[in-house]
Amino acid sequence: MHGKTLLKMRGIYKSFPGVKALKNVDFTLCEGEIHALMGENGAGKSTLIKVLTGVHIKDEGSIFITDTSGADQEVQIRSPQEAQKNGISTVYQEISLCPNLSVAENIFLARGESALVNWRTMNKKAGELLDNLGIAVKPTQQLASCSIAVQQMVAIARAVDMDCRVLILDEPTSSLDEHEVAKLFMLMRQLKERGVGIIFVTHFLDQVYEVCDKITVLRDGALVGEYEIENLPRVQLVSKMLGKELDDMADIKDEVPEFKATGEAPVYEGKGLCSSEGISPFDFNIHRGEVNGFTGLLGSGRSECVRTIFGADKVTGGTVKMDGKEVKISKPKDAMKNGIGYLPEDRKRDGIVGDLSVRDNIILALQVKTGFFKPFSKAKAVEFANEYIKLLDIKTASVNTPIKSLSGGNQQKVILARWLLTHPKYLILDEPTRGIDVGTKIDIQKLVLKLASEGMSITFISSETDEMLRTCSRLLVMRDRKLVGELTGDQLTQATIMNTIAGGDKNAE
Amino acid sequence: MPNKMPSPPKTSFWARLFSHQIVIPIAALLILAIFNLISDPTFFRIVFKENSSGNKVLSGNLISIIDNGSELAILAIGMTLVTAASGGQDISVGAAIAIAGSAMLRILCGGSSSPTELQSPIILAFIVGVLVAMFFGAFNGVLVAFFKIQPMVATLILFTAGRSIASWINNGELPNVPGKEFTYFGSYIPGVPVPTPFLIAIACFIVIFLVMKFTNLRLYVQSVGINEKTARLNGLNPELIKLMSFVILGICVAVAALIKVSRISSINYSVIAKDIEMDAILAVALGGNALSGGKFSIGASVLGAYVIQFLTTTLYKLEVSAVALPAYKAVVVIILVVMSAPTVREKLSRLGKKLRSGKTGAESAKA
């Protein structure tokens, strides 16, 4: 059903200082095929794309492009220009066109043709091209006044007109609504008819199963496999992306004590919460001493949920009750006043204050809570810092060491210490174990269970499902920015989690 | 990543001093002092003599430095905070001094150009000046914090318009303040042998020191300056803190304006505090503070301000003409700023470490 091979990447290796981003990856694209490239964060999707488009230069391996006569040509791609010369075009998530120019200008801009522009011909040619592709927009319209979907399609039209044979769409749908996505898919199918090979990178499973013909899965920089879409049910895909075979997902959950809610009102109860980050309104509650968690693939909206709870993003709706009393949480300070703590997902960007000492990083949240006019004496601050350095076994030369010179795991412990020092009723931990060594991971999981047994409520998020199974007594499952399920008790197994994440097809169990 | 850090190295007083940023202005000061000591030892002579108004006061080059450098030192306090919080600089302080000074004169002279006696108490004039300067500081702060305009661009507005506003406050007149009391702020208080500007600068320094001791100003400003996102997630309001730093700079501007107008009991709108913003920014840089914001040391900036004045006085002593002065100053400044740049300092400290470890390595090899 597919045409002949168009692009072959063989044995691609790429390393960055300290990381092997790609290890012996093969990738094949045929004419007239929509090929999904799937994988979790850090799997190597974007590195592979960047090697193909000349943004990064591969360490080893070769790239072949089939020329018009049908022979394989090995090509060297060392810059985006070279990629373009070989017929490879990319449309990125953020549109890289000029919003203040017209549609036609954007299509023909900087194509290295002639210095003189015949505006009438240009507009006419652009009009024909757009008609041809069924994009309903006037060539003279200013790009900024078009919807994002149309802008994206203009970017695609530009690529098509540049004789592209391989079109890479990197997360094109993440800022589109359903209607716009449908339009984009129509265009993609048209291009497919014309024999263009499309590489489609997305996090949305539904979309993959709607338009794609083949799936290539990457994990930890290595190729997992290439599959025909009909041979790979959703659950299988999820398990391949996460790297867990369904067989060895026998119940490993044993140590989490069953959580029994008492009659009291929940510590935190939110109804119809939503934020500016575009998650569907969701309900959420947590009781005293409970550990629960949000799970789902990357980009499914699990971090956005907890950010809404903490007021880190702009909260656009919903009501919140804490201990049965209605409260308003619209910014982090409100949440902190109500006894909520939040350890963010991106430690470096949102967690640490790099140049400040371990001591200042530990006391920061409490000092904000106590207010501008109540600073701790230096002795008191050192005492607090030392207490938690000892409690959490933080490896640091002294309390005065800048936090940025600590290892990732120790930085994470410092941020944990910061929140523990505020004695929160409810603590949110978003990926507290990411990028840290195994020993520290286990320390943190143990600590979570200990804190819960002392009465703290904790929401724990981790991309490693078994970590969540070991700590959480209730899991909320997210898919495509919607809360799609809640798992408790016997449902807490790898298999059910994956089925719920994948949704739709149930026959894989 | 090393799992076990080495035990804390024993840090002596000297080692700690050398790792602190204040070492830069101190070193500059020492170099200038040694240079003067060699070229002309009398540079440092301080005598006790009667001045023109009949007071017994201290006089000499050093006294002139601490006298004339004080406005700059006071501005350096506020400029350090603005730099730390916003990662940018306020270039409108000279114009703002003109405005605040003009407002003070308007209150003191009541609108007439040469009144025979003060129309209002000095304290009232000062308070009005402070309020006016705080208002314009807040104007800059709102542009920077809430409208996210680059600090230099935002303050360019007041830099351009400020001196016209100052002139407009007094209808373009240059009022003369009558009486002696008002001159005390820019010269000497009878019976006190130390120039008043220096005493005011010390008072300002003590006030900001106490503010830092009894509030969380330092922690909040540094957190916002280093990582705004983290600061927000820890409950801080970065916009408010940036705004506050500009308002504090406004207060510093008013104090400096009081000294400036007191020195001549009048004002010259186009000349008063001219180019002082560049020296204030330079003082912050000389103090080893990153101009991109973050950690800061006000003491080092204040010292940096006096270093600049020391340099100016030294050049005057060498009979460099007033026209050529900026060029000479620029050369010295380039050297100082390059030496205090974090990348150079890092390289130097690494070199130092290498030398030291080389030495101990050689010694242990011998043993």
- Separation in Å, CA of B137 to nearest CA in chain A: 21
Categorize the per-residue pLDDT at A84 as very low, low, confident or very high, splitting at 50, 70 and 90: confident
CA angle B331, B335, B339 (to 5 degrees): 165
Domain membership of residue B200 (yes or no) is yes
For residues A226-231, average pLDDT: 89
B interface with A, Cβ–Cβ < 8 A, is: 1-9, 213-217, 219-220, 222-223, 226-227, 229-237, 294-295
For residue A407, list chain B residues with Cβ-Cβ distance below 8 A: 1-3
Distance CA A226, CA A488 (A): 34
Q: Provide the whole-model pTM.
A: 0.75
- How many percent of chain A have pLDDT more than 90? 31
pLDDT at site A246: 54
> Within a 10 A sphere around the Cβ of B351, how many other Cβ atoms?
10
CA angle A359, A360, A363 (to 5 degrees): 85
A336, A368, A436: best mutation site toward chain B, by most B Cβ within 10 Å? A368
Categorize the per-residue pLDDT at A418 as very low, low, confident or very high, splitting at 50, 70 and 90: very high
B5, B215, B233: best mutation site toward chain A, by most A Cβ within 10 Å? B233
For residue A372, list chain B residues with Cβ-Cβ distance below 8 A: 215-217, 220
For residue B5, list chain A residues with Cβ-Cβ distance below 8 A: 395-397
Mean pLDDT of all residues belonging to chain A: 84
Contact B1 A408 (CB under 8 A): yes
- For chain A, the structural domain boundaries read 5-232
Domain membership of residue B332 (yes or no) is no
Of B233 and A67, more confident: B233
Position A1 pLDDT exceeds 50: no
- Separation in Å, CA of B249 to nearest CA in chain A: 18
CATH code of residue B262 = 1.10.3470
In B166-196, which positions are buried (b, 16+ CB within 10 angstroms) versus exposed (e)? bbebbeebebbbbeeebbebbbbbeeeeebb
pLDDT digits 0-9 by tens, A455-486: 999 999 987 777 888 889 899 998 888 898 89
Domain membership of residue B84 (yes or no) is yes
Position A254 pLDDT exceeds 60: no
Contact A407 B1 (CB under 8 A): yes
Report the residue from A312, A356, A396 with minimal CB separation from B233: A312
pLDDT at site B283: 92
Q: Chain B residue with minimal CA distance to A400?
A: B8
pLDDT digits 0-9 by tens, A85-121: 888 888 876 667 788 888 888 888 766 555 566 788 8
Pairing of strands A214-219, A197-201: unpaired
* Domain count within chain B: 1
What is the ipTM for the molecules in this complex? 0.84
Categorize the per-residue pLDDT at A445 as very low, low, confident or very high, splitting at 50, 70 and 90: confident
Structural domain of B231: 54-319
For residues A299-306, average pLDDT: 86
Domain membership of residue B130 (yes or no) is yes
Domain membership of residue B362 (yes or no) is no
Mean pLDDT lowest among A144-148, A186-190, B191-195 = A144-148
Task: Specify whether the CB–CB gap between A508 and A236 falls below 8 A.
Answer: yes
Position B9 pLDDT exceeds 60: no
- Separation in Å, CA of B59 to nearest CA in chain A: 41
Contact B219 A367 (CB under 8 A): yes
pLDDT digits 0-9 by tens, B99-128: 999 999 999 998 788 888 888 899 999 999
pLDDT at site B131: 97
Give me the half-sphere count of Cα atoms (radius 13 Å) on the Cβ side of residue A166: 26
Contact A364 B219 (CB under 8 A): yes
Mean pLDDT lowest among A327-336, B19-28, B71-80, B226-235 = B19-28
For residues A332-352, average pLDDT: 91
- Separation in Å, CA of B85 to nearest CA in chain A: 13
Per CATH, the architecture of A5-232 is what? 3-Layer(aba) Sandwich (3.40)
Mean pLDDT lowest among A55-59, A119-123, A199-203, A251-255 = A251-255
Pairing of strands A291-295, A315-322: unpaired
pLDDT digits 0-9 by tens, A20-38: 788 999 999 998 899 999 8
Task: Specify whether the CB–CB gap between B85 and B221 falls below 8 A.
Answer: yes
User: What 3-state DSSP class applies to A15?
Assistant: strand
pLDDT at site A255: 53
Distance CA A484, CA B125 (A): 67
Distance CA A409, CA A433 (A): 8
Distance CA B177, CA B198 (A): 22
Of B353 and A493, more confident: A493
pLDDT at site A437: 67
- How many percent of chain A have pLDDT more than 70? 90
In A50-61, which positions are buried (b, 16+ CB within 10 angstroms) versus exposed (e)? bbbbbebebeeb
Of A300 and B132, more confident: B132
